[in-house]
Structure 1
């Protein structure tokens, strides 16, 4: 049993949601995949002024994701600046063709860049099932925190959307593989390309298997590429090499 994952590595027009959605639709429509993963804040870029672009759960960006999912018969995932209860969240959505919409609020906000001054952190992990695969949702900086993303037998793959600057590209590439190896899971990590007012982005999006092997990887150009996450192969590997049985028990204090 397998699910085909597509990573949509793209440039993002700064704080122009309508323009970005118009550019993205033909790209994602052509993707031969069951799940399409978009970068962090794919409709606006990594803005630290969410008040000017944030929307609610029924806003234009999430409505577009729902429309695409229904029209093209694929699930879509990516993060959006959301306003809720007087606060702003960097919220990752997973939208299914059925219309079901699950979300995860980024837990680890990038304090060195000022994100924590403008967004509120999430308080719980989100695992969503689709096509027989259980996906843990992560956003960018979350990737640096292995305790938060530790597999407890509750997921098969990580979906991570990011706006990861080029100067730290080797950390991004290494962490994707580290999370795959230590959790014996697949990892899909999509990053953007291009520039915004504060950073340059090198892409390096990748699909990694449960042994840390690269299944597919991008360079610094816009592109969509895919790989299949095979849960039967994953289950066989976890049974043959059951490192998870020796994992340390722990509890996260919120």
Structure 2
């Protein structure tokens, strides 16, 4: 178990429906990260932007982007996480991949489809919450619209880090800020949100606001409005343990299950 987890958040303007160009731009950004890190976090649908044209950008689990993620993880000796459009068994998924340096891949399919734009008509919704054990840290990865549904993120597994990858637009960015902080507080975990910037192919505007909150809801890292680039933040296991042991809020959770 490692007492520290060094995480790199990458905030970028995604190139609309162009996986090759997006892989190239993220390769350049990742090359700029020097020193040892443990985890690299990219936005939701980082190869395309939040598109409903799934057939134009979909890849398989044997495709170029998965291969690229495996290469990056090995080269940087760090896990890399982000979501992209995956086609499997004639279905499309908004699928998060957590790729470790060992080559192990954990997948999470977005649970809550964004019905405002008809995501549920294109993408098959996921049914399983995923908890990843990485370097002794328990990590819960979720995607964008999942942020609005606290029951799904509810910390019954005693995870240490909650991650949201997103394409969260400017008109509702205050909700993004507020809910990231709330998820950290109520789950007594670090909460990391990585969003995009720029304007996409359907004229939705994004201003970023990628950030990290500690278990008390304090913002410990953030980007400037519309900033592109990366930030590195070190998460500390003793921070999680100290405040959970001091306050014991999670011991008072209501008991119920999700169907």
Q: TM-score, normalised by structure 1?
A: 0.98
Q: CA deviation at 1:119?
A: 0.3
Aligned partner (choices 194, 214, 226) of residue 232 of structure 2: 226
SS at match of 1:228: strand
**1:186-233 CA deviation, whole Å, 9 max, x = no partner?**
011000000112200010000110000001111211120021111122
Distance in 2 separating the partners of 1:69 and 1:120: 27
Q: CA deviation at 1:153?
A: 3.2
Deviates more, 1:102-111 or 1:216-225: 216-225
Aligned partner (choices 99, 102, 106) of residue 102 of structure 1: 106
Q: Which residue in the other structure is 1:209 paired with?
A: 214
Q: CA deviation at 1:27?
A: 0.9
Give 4+ residue runs of structure 1 displaced > 6 Å after superposition: none
Q: Which residue in the other structure is 1:249 paired with?
A: 255
Equivalent residue runs for 1:1-254 within 5 Å: 1-31=3-33, 32=35, 33-198=37-202, 199-219=204-224, 220-253=226-259
Q: CA deviation at 1:237?
A: 0.8
In structure 2, stretches of 5+ residues that fail to align are none
Distance in 1 separating the partners of 2:197 and 2:126: 26
Q: TM-score, normalised by structure 2?
A: 0.96
Q: CA deviation at 1:29?
A: 2.7
Report the count of equivalent residues: 253
In structure 1, stretches of 5+ residues that fail to align are none
- Contact kept, 8 Å, 1:173 with 1:204, in 2: the verdict is yes
**1:148-176 CA deviation, whole Å, 9 max, x = no partner?**
00001331111110000000000000000
Distance in 1 separating the partners of 2:40 and 2:179: 21
Distance in 2 separating the partners of 1:66 and 1:30: 18
SS at match of 2:17: coil
